[in-house]
Structure 1
């Protein structure tokens, strides 16, 4: 373990992150909301801390190993969550505790969208902008951004990239060089954000709301500048929901497919990809079922309103964005449970979505089908294929390992939350919503997490990190074998 190298990188990354804390300052000045000072203090504290980490070991330059990469990623996301909480903690609006500040910061950076803040409509614009910005930075992963910058400072980034993206497709790169890969991802991410913001503005949002919601839409985050979330715009600007549906769907797709479609000047890359086809089919079926059920139960009397709200909520929950146009947790029958269960699948691998990822679910189903066939034909060699490519046993073992760890962690955290005094529905849905980086749950966490006790909030912070880093990256640090020389 190269502790000095890790310390140097953490210092550099903290100093880079401190710059982003300043971006709400111009917003505060423009709107004259009087909330500029918390950002200036948070900037100085983060910058100085980063410098203190970096300066004593600035001369230590050596190749970053894979093991070091895991430590950097986990420590950085943890430290970032703490320092990202400073503006919330120092601000008088909202007036929240240390636990709530870290919860809000961690929720933003992991693009979970679970909030402990109410009265959003009355908060300073700079605070609202900062919440949205946290999600935008976390969406593609601040580490991927750092990968594009750190080589300029003499630090290789491949180890960070692999530690940050431990999914089944982690070895695929869009370009031969990891720096160029990171830049390609960010160009696509930035282009989608700009297009989404302009579309929101054209649909009826004001400029501030358009930018803010573009940040959280493309990040699959779900934070809003209003307590009613997207429901705030439904009556006067229903086209906003249509724009949100389109960009939530696009952001839930593997960004490598966006890159291939752009490079090949056509959409063929999408329609030959197995994961995309399954992803689109799941959302389509869920949208039809939700809309039909809402109209059949007379939850909405107008078929148009039932269709729009049903499609919106199915796409929002299915992609783990977490926007709402109504209190979906109060909808009748199976709908709330069905929508929550969709978040376990989540978006595509290589997207900003949460959940287990569609490709893993496809692999698990195919593996289950293979085991059934083996009962009938014990001696047959039956490969598991995705598209025309046969998957190796190593990949399938990794997927099964991920799934088993996911289930175990989910059960343990649910039991802990019940032990703290939460009812089963609240505990179950809170862990599901945070571990899948969804946000809104059922029961007492349907609207926000204000009523949840502090112990449960810390457990949920861990669940957010676990989901954001896809289980392995975080849990590997808890194994004795990792720390042996």
Structure 2
């Protein structure tokens, strides 16, 4: 097993994670909140990433080292991700375990939470929860496509992350998917904001919806937003639940396989049932 390859790419991911954590730091500064929890986590992530990517040599990933990379990525990100919860004293008991659970839930976009009163959290922490699930929605492993150099590595990583190749190269696939993801994010921020929702709440709702995560910035989503916003959120979650490959073919006006159409119909049926009980 090529452990060096796994740790080398882990280092790249940790550096990317450190850069992402600059955003909640900025939000904390804007709202005059404690920013040390995010800046410290970002610094640790950047230092570890630099050490891993430079100490371990870049080698070609094989199947085993790729799966080991997935394991390392979620363990390291989740451990680093618990630091803000600890430093901001979010939990009263089982603080380490609860913080770790919350961190894992964010990066994996499961959306399960142990926090009862989300609205009492600092805005910077609310944004932090939202942005890590937004990154999780694109698939952490998928982000490596921009750094790898061989078709074999691309095939392995796309197989693990559940993506199908779009375009002629891994980097083209990465750029196409990121364009779509950012495009949908910006469009839904604009649409939700038009319904009269506060811009901060809007951004966090879109990060949660398009990633199909569950870290929403409100305690009671059903009563905290109006009907037009609910309809937009439903449509946004529907868009977020569909494969990027289908989105790509849709915008290129290509035909779909019947199997894919059935998957879309199934998702719509589930959303309709969910709306009835919302």
Extract unaligned runs of 5+ from structure 1: 291-309, 314-324, 326-485
Equivalent residue number for residue 311 of structure 1: 275
Equivalent residue number for residue 54 of structure 2: 55
What does the per-residue CA deviation read over 1:32-70, in whole Å, with 9 as the maximum and x for residues that have no partner?
A: 2x221100111122222223333322xx23322222111
Matched, 1:213 2:177: no
Partner Cα distance (1:277, 1:19) in 2: 39
> 3-state DSSP class of the match of 2:215?
coil
Equivalent residue number for residue 2 of structure 1: 2
Residues 44 and 74 of structure 1: CA distance in aligned 2, closer, same or farther (over 3 Å) = same
Aligned equivalent of 2:135, options 134, 137, 146: 137
Partner Cα distance (1:161, 1:78) in 2: 20
Equivalent residue number for residue 86 of structure 2: 89
Aligned equivalent of 2:245, options 236, 256, 270: 256
Equivalent residue number for residue 39 of structure 2: 40
1:238 Cα deviation after fit: 1.8
Extract unaligned runs of 5+ from structure 2: none
Equivalent residue number for residue 109 of structure 1: 107
Larger radius of gyration: 1
- Cα RMSD between the aligned structures? 2.2
**Number of equivalenced pairs:** 275
Residues 3 and 199 of structure 1: CA distance in aligned 2, closer, same or farther (over 3 Å) = same
Contact 1:147 1:160 in 2 (8 A): yes
Superposed, which structure 2 residues align to 1:143-292 within 5 Å? Answer: 143-148=141-146, 150-151=147-148, 157-165=154-162, 172-233=164-225, 237-264=226-253, 269=255, 272-281=257-266, 283-284=268-269, 287=272, 290=273
Equivalent residue number for residue 12 of structure 2: 12
1:279 Cα deviation after fit: 3.3
Q: TM-score, normalised by structure 1?
A: 0.53
Contact 2:78 2:104 in 1 (8 A): yes
Partner Cα distance (2:129, 2:269) in 1: 31
Partner Cα distance (1:3, 1:285) in 2: 42
Residues 311 and 67 of structure 1: CA distance in aligned 2, closer, same or farther (over 3 Å) = same
Equivalent residue number for residue 342 of structure 1: none
1:229 Cα deviation after fit: 2.7
Contact 2:91 2:99 in 1 (8 A): no
Contact 1:217 1:244 in 2 (8 A): yes
Partner Cα distance (1:213, 1:286) in 2: 17
Decide which structure has greater helix share: 2
